[in-house]
Structure 1
Amino acid sequence: MRREPSGSLASLRDRNRRLVVDELRRAGLISRAELARRTGLSRSTVSTLIADMQAQGLVAEREVDGAGPQGGRPPVLLSLERAAGVALGIDFGKRHVRVIVSDLAHTVLADLERPMETEQSAQEGFDAAVELAGQALAEAGVAQTDIIGAGMGVPGPIDVATGEVGSSAILPGWVGVRPEEVVARQLGIPVKAENDANLGALAELTWGAGRGSDDFVYIKVSSGIGGGLVLGGQLYTGSGGIAGELGHSMVDEHGPVCRCGNRGCLETIASTRQIVDLLRPARGADITIEQVIAHAREGDRASRRVIGDAARAIGVVIAQVCNVLNPAKVVVGGDLSAAGDVLLDPLRDEVTRHAVPAAGGNVEIVPGVLGRRAEVLGAAALVLRDVDGFALHPPKDVQQKQVG
């Protein structure tokens, strides 16, 4: 039998190791059997590679709560060790900045938030985020040198060619700013930025209602409306980085002028800002979307009506998306998702009514499960899942050889 040259065997082993490490990063916690299934490697190959990486201090075993199959021992799952690095997640909202630290097992080690004034500049936001990141690292007990990168959520689309925040950003002071460039310089680490809706999709894929789904659409309904598309298990952003701008789908050509310059965009009809504005004459100038949702759940007709109208407009747009992409699932997030079935029932009805039966009849429409944490978790997931853009720290035996 012809033996493979040692160089070929070494290359194959390196390739297999990369497959295992990449899948560990995406999964956070995973069994040996599932790792073999996802990578296409034999169980014996996976076990050999894992044993080597355990010896190097790169992989750890963790027992999870609960009994295993047939009431046996709790299942043992694998994860990358914290020594291989941690990720920062940074989220800039309309009135806040939030920072988390996550290890490679997808465990959040610290989570801090600070209120921000809407009129503050982008640079003031960056400065606050850098300061908050230092506090979060201290709380997590990790050094800045442990960070492999930072993901960042910004309030608007980002041009993939220039790295600039686009003109439809909710905060006008961010238009034309290059957040990756600025924050990378201030923190001294690699940084990747995305809009908040895309991060919501990534978070639900990694931790939430989209986990285990390769094809789903995420729609965030808050003061603005945006969408994130997960296709083939990956975030799809389009050629220019603006795929998923569902809030700027036209639903009424004679409707109000939108901040994007067009008329009758979904955002002008179904955003939480519009819902609150419609109820202020009857409910008072200080009413909040949380109060509107509470009133609707209690049966208030006016509150249920405005949420229902918003839901039907959203449903028309989602039906169009279903006809084009045929997703298995739609995840509804953002502030309005707290309305539950008051929102989802009329939305589902409208999707069934307007989508072709094969698409609208089979799609599962569910609420997001991560709430206000979705965007900052998604920012961390940018780093955790990007196996090409953010390198892990080398295992300890490699570090020792470099020192020696």
Structure 2
Amino acid sequence: MNRLRVLDAVREHGALTQVEIAGVTGLSAATVSNLVKELDVAGAVQLRPSIRNGRRATQVSVASSSGLVGAAVFGDRDIRVAVATGPADIVSQKRMPLPADHAADEGMTRAARLIQELAEGAGHTAADLRSLVVGLPAPIDTVSGEVGSEGVLPGWRGVAVAQAMQDALGVPVLLDNTSNLAAVGEFKLGALQGISTGVFMKVSYGVGAGLIIGGELFRGSAGTAGEIGHVTIDENGPVCRCGNRGCLDTFVGARAVLAALRPSHGSLTLRDVINRALEGDPGCRRVLEDSGRHLGVALAGVVNLLNPEVVALGGQVARVGEVVLGPMREAIERCAIPSAAASVEVRVGELPPEEADVRGALAVADQLREEADRAALAAG
């Protein structure tokens, strides 16, 4: 436990001398000296000569050679993988397209191969990988460790993804929803930094949310908190892929947006719609403005319930900025309690849409690595 106290002090405060560590932890100087020697032998810390108050001292910092962490984040039609030394220090990354409705075994095989190739291409070996986080754009049941909906990502239903990837790569693996991971990315490095209660809305081919409550990601009792895309906003509305009627996703997801424009614009992709809206196309702008209003109506309930400080919009649709944000704000002001609506700021996320969930996955993978290190130190 004392070794962990020393390591935690250095992680929290940065590089410290042994005298400073003693002051922070309350341990004696002799005890700290012995603990630092043990941590140095274990490779958990780095020691550098320093000068403090005109005297020679040894500066203690967390070892930087603690291996790599990895992220494998799946979209509806692609996979993005990265290896890093930490969430802000990506060593190598790559994106690969995938067919729509791809099967789990195909996606996981590609992910494992790409992770190994990236590590080796950066001068490491697969053995340097210490942890991996996998993201899927679907509800994740943390009790079963599987996709939590029959109709969302049917090719992944019933697959123990984390265990399969752990078997393939031989490292601890955690599975999470991509909106949750993007919320972590914005909380660590983007628009939700320093926020105690915040909401991240990811709007691309589908829509989801990640909730930050008390400065931590909130997953709920079974891991499916934040599934705002499947909140009913019209009980007589279209049938959703999840089996319900009138879900938010049936009004603002890519299928609904493209269907609304097909009679006037023909076959478009979501990227086409966004680009045309940015160029001033009135039809594309109108459909995205409608999406903003629907998002605001759904968010008003979240604002009433959680009273967040910030709602950050991410995903591909965030590229149009005020086209969507303006109607969102108007709907929140109209539908939420005035005091709650007045206290929330609606803004665009700061990280690129294709990067927020990857950064969040790396941050969670870094936590997995720390937990493994702490367990090893505690075991002595």
Query: Normalising TM by the smaller chain, what interval?
Result: 0.7 to 0.9
Alignment partner of 2:313: what SS? strand
Matched, 1:14 2:3: yes
Equivalent residue number for residue 91 of structure 2? 109
- Aligned-residue offset at 1:212: 2.0
Equivalent residue number for residue 305 of structure 1? 286
Equivalent residue number for residue 362 of structure 1? 343
C-alpha separation between the residues in 1 aligned to 2:273 and 2:343? Answer: 31
- Aligned-residue offset at 1:214: 2.4
Shift in CA distance, 42/243, structure 1 to aligned 2, threshold 3 Å? farther
C-alpha separation between the residues in 2 aligned to 1:229 and 1:264? Answer: 23
Match of 2:262 among 276, 280, 284: 280
Shift in CA distance, 180/283, structure 1 to aligned 2, threshold 3 Å? same
Shift in CA distance, 352/97, structure 1 to aligned 2, threshold 3 Å? same
After superposing the two structures, state which structure 1 stretch, 205-214 or 335-344, moved more. 205-214
- Aligned-residue offset at 1:223: 1.2
C-alpha separation between the residues in 2 aligned to 1:260 and 1:58? Answer: 47
Q: Percent identity between the aligned chains?
A: 36
C-alpha separation between the residues in 1 aligned to 2:134 and 2:96? Answer: 15
Equivalent residue number for residue 86 of structure 1? 68
Equivalent residue number for residue 303 of structure 2? 322
- Aligned-residue offset at 1:144: 2.2
**AA partner of residue 149 (structure 2):** S
Matched, 1:165 2:147: yes
Kept after mapping to 2: 8 A contact 1:79/1:105 = no
**Deviations for 1:253-278, whole angstroms, at most 9, x for unmatched residues?**
11100111111110000113311221
**Deviations for 1:189-221, whole angstroms, at most 9, x for unmatched residues?**
110000111111111112221122222111111
Equivalent residue number for residue 245 of structure 1? 227
**AA partner of residue 117 (structure 1):** P
Matched, 1:342 2:323: yes
Equivalent residue number for residue 292 of structure 1? 273
**Deviations for 1:2-45, whole angstroms, at most 9, x for unmatched residues?**
xxxxxxxxx4x435325336648xxxxx687xxx9xx9x96697
Matched, 1:378 2:367: no
More strand by share: 2
- Aligned-residue offset at 1:320: 0.7
Equivalent residue number for residue 55 of structure 2? none
Alignment partner of 2:343: what SS? coil
Q: Following superposition of structure 1 onto structure 2, how do residues 91-102 of structure 1 map, counting pairs within 5 Å? A: 91-102=73-84
**AA partner of residue 20 (structure 1):** A
Kept after mapping to 2: 8 A contact 1:383/1:390 = no
- Aligned-residue offset at 1:140: 2.4
Shift in CA distance, 131/58, structure 1 to aligned 2, threshold 3 Å? same
Kept after mapping to 1: 8 A contact 2:85/2:91 = yes
Shift in CA distance, 101/262, structure 1 to aligned 2, threshold 3 Å? same
Equivalent residue number for residue 188 of structure 1? 170
Shift in CA distance, 23/175, structure 1 to aligned 2, threshold 3 Å? farther
- Aligned-residue offset at 1:80: 4.1
Kept after mapping to 2: 8 A contact 1:137/1:144 = yes
- Aligned-residue offset at 1:133: 0.6
User: Where does the alignment leave 5 or more consecutive residues of structure 2 unmatched?
Assistant: 48-59
Alignment partner of 2:202: what SS? strand
Alignment partner of 1:332: what SS? strand
Alignment partner of 1:291: what SS? helix
C-alpha separation between the residues in 2 aligned to 1:364 and 1:60? Answer: 42
